[in-house]
């Protein structure tokens, strides 16, 4: 699913957060949005998902596959969300419902959007869990009974079980250790490619971004500071914010390399 954002501005409680952002994602493309904490990345993701708080004032345009999100009715957005657009959140412990089993959690989008029997939903849930590397024995478990990596795999399964055309991944590896982080990034990338879906991958870490995306946008204090292929921005950033993020990524890579030596 294509994404076309034009002149997007967001204010929360009259405080400007995002300023005149333009961003494009083509069908089947993996695009990154990178910026430091507080730069407005998550606000853009929430605008795309129709999840901004009631106090938000939004100007500009957000089109998903030609459907305008800004000003759309709750019914239009609810039909898109879950069926055509899935989201993987930063903290699976907060994103998953603590009183729902894994089977209930992953099966919920199917229950909401498709007329399937219980057996049909269970079959799709089991197949999706297998794709994310989880065995059937987790079906009846609750989030607190799983490791952080397992919880994020459940989050990915929940986002992808309806075969959406667009995946938004908002800092999906921040809460994980470096080894699990790499596993989750590679898993998510392969599943998105297998589904021929598009992805917006949001992070503050160029080390992660370079494994996932082909193009990226650098966000600085709510504005797009630069954009281009991820390789070009990583090799030769043109702005101060880009250079700060690249230097931080190189420092982390060097630290990880020394730990493994």
Domains of the chain, CATH where assigned: 3-93+164-256 (3.40.50.300)
Task: Going residue by residue through the chain, which has 261 residues, state the pLDDT in tens, using 9 for 90 and above.
Answer: 999 999 999 999 989 999 999 999 999 999 999 988 889 999 999 999 988 988 999 999 999 998 999 988 888 888 888 789 999 988 888 889 999 999 999 999 999 989 999 999 999 999 999 999 999 999 999 999 999 889 989 999 999 999 999 999 998 887 777 788 888 889 899 999 998 999 999 988 888 888 899 999 999 999 999 999 999 999 999 998 889 888 887 775 534 444 444
Q: How many residues are listed for the chain in this entry? A: 261
What lies within 8 Å, CB to CB, of 143 at 6+ separation is 92, 93, 96, 97, 98, 102, 105, 151, 154
pTM equals 0.89
CA atoms 179, 181, 184, 190: torsion sign: negative
Range 154-181 burial, b when 16+ CB lie within 10 A, else e: bbbbbbbbbebbbbbbbbbbebbeeebb
């Amino acid at each position: 699913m294509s994404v076309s954002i034009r002149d997007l501005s967001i204010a929360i409680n009259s405080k400007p957060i995002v300023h005149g952002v333009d961003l494009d994602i083509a069908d089947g493309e993996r695009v990154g949005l990178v910026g430091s904490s507080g730069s407005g990345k998550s606000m853009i993701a929430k605008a795309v998902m129709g999840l901004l708080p009631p106090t938000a004032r939004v100007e500009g345009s957000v089109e998903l596959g030609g459907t305008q999100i800004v000003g759309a009715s709750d019914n239009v957005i609810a039909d898109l969300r879950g069926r055509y657009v899935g989201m993987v959140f930063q903290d699976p412990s907060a994103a998953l419902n603590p009183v729902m089993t894994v089977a209930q959690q992953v099966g919920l989008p199917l229950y909401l959007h498709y007329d399937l029997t219980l057996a049909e939903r269970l079959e799709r849930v089991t197949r999706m869990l297998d794709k994310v590397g989880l065995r059937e024995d987790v079906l009846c478990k609750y989030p607190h009974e799983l490791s952080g990596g397992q919880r994020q795999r459940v989050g990915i399964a929940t986002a992808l079980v309806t075969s959406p055309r667009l995946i938004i991944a908002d800092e999906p590896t921040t809460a994980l250790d470096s080894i699990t982080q790499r596993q989750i990034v590679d898993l998510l990338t392969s599943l998105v490619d297998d589904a021929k879906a598009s992805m917006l991958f949001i992070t503050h870490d160029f080390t992660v971004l370079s494994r996932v995306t082909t193009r990226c946008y650098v966000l600085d204090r709510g504005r797009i500071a630069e954009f281009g292929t991820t390789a070009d921005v990583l090799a030769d950033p043109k702005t101060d914010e880009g250079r700060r993020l690249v230097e931080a990524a190189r420092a982390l890579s060097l630290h990880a390399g020394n730990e493994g030596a």
